[in-house]
Structure 1
Amino acid sequence: MEVQLITSLQQRRPLVLAVTNFITAGAVANCLSAAGMSPLMPSDPAEAAELVALADAVVVNIGSVGAEQAALLRAVVTAARQLKKPLVLDPVAVGASQARRQLITELLAGPVTLIRGNASEIAVLAGAASHGHGIDAGDEPNLAQVAAACAKRHACLVVLSGPVDYVSDGQHTKALPGGSPLMPKVVGTGDMLSAFLAGCLTLPMAPLAAAELGTAYFGQAGVQADDGQLGHWLSNFLTVLAQAPHDFGKAVQTND
């Protein structure tokens, strides 16, 4: 892995505008800050355009779909497209309700740079049957094909996260180790990955390569944070993200 690119990311400290749900907002902000990025979290649609203009990248998720939050999501996504900012969409539990499916349909009416979701969320967006339960992924078959189908359908990058992560642009799909088995037990790790990937899309490299780099780095940081104690994982993870990449560099590999 080109860990010097992560070092350059920390030195540049990109501003990532994140619209997330109230449950994970603090975790997402702490993750971005620990990783050397600067989080910005708007709350009012009236300020969306001004704040998106300041941002280097944007990430939105539909963990909350109330009327006020939906209006904020629409305003931020519209501004991100107009200003051509890297835009990451996290379709949290998209298959759980009609309201979520409708909101995602609206948000995907225009282009996005990357969709990051679990297997069931990506299956829904690929037009396949989903076996998910709430925010939890179900046992979806042929995950590489699901990721590629979603990427083709929406003409964007897709990161399907799970025990093995899949990164696809619809033509090329790469499987990467998915991190620690403790990660699915910590609410918000997917939201954190989505936000981290938004920052990685500001790197001076092809977006697919940036998505692969960010996914692999995040997963390896999760492994490094695993001391076998669930209660320790999040604080350990933030510590790992905050350290210099060369501190665990050679353990992280994305080369074929």
Structure 2
Amino acid sequence: MIKDAFDLKFILDNLPKIIGALPVTISITLISLFFGWMLGLIFAFGKVSGPRWLREVLKLLTDILRGIPTVVLLYVVYFGLPQIVGSLTGASLDGWSKQTFVVIALALELGISSSEMFRSAYNSIRKEQIEAAWALGYTKIQRFLKVIVPQGLFVILPNLSSAVLSIIQATALVYTLGIYDILGKARQIDTNEAHVKTFEMYLAAALIYWALAGVVTVIFSQLEKRFGRGRKVVAA
């Protein structure tokens, strides 16, 4: 196979086609973030305020999932979940879309990792404030959501930014399940060209991922400035 010289025009001609797959990447990212962070809050609450047995179970689950690569987890969920549900309940998941399994896998992974972030946020809160909330009659859940989360959010904003970038990068693996996200579309175009434009297509995909990362970085930088001003006001 003879490789052609670098073809910028080919990138410019096909970039709109790859960008056309952007909604798939964004939708998977946003839905995974929502459910992942909800799971993270639940897991963190269990690790902080749950009974001993629950803390041990969550610790074991954290250790297990941390050792599983994302692509392996995707396949375990995609191929294993239907078998498990079918064996336990007899129900069939054949009607579920591939994106659903991807979201489950990514949300589960994010939930475990973000639970440690939220737990660190809890540890950053002054004990006196938690005791004050307890004196006011707040329940455990109210203390967690009204005292711990708002104050701890600023502490973990950089980690949340990294989590968003990690999920965006993880979506690049969904092409292995036949989902045409950004990378999947780029590979499809490359395949149609007999793999003589591989570099151009990967470069085009890289540029789009880079642009997404830039947007995320700017958004979280603004959030850090905003929450930072709020903390200065409170301190004053």
State if a TM-score over 0.5 links the two structures: no
Question: Normalising by the residue count of structure 2, what TM-score does the alignment of the two structures yield?
Answer: 0.27
Question: Normalising by the residue count of structure 1, what TM-score does the alignment of the two structures yield?
Answer: 0.25
Higher relative contact order (CA 8 A, sep 6+): 2
State the structure with more CA Rg: 2
Greater fraction of residues in strand: 1
Greater fraction of residues in helix: 2
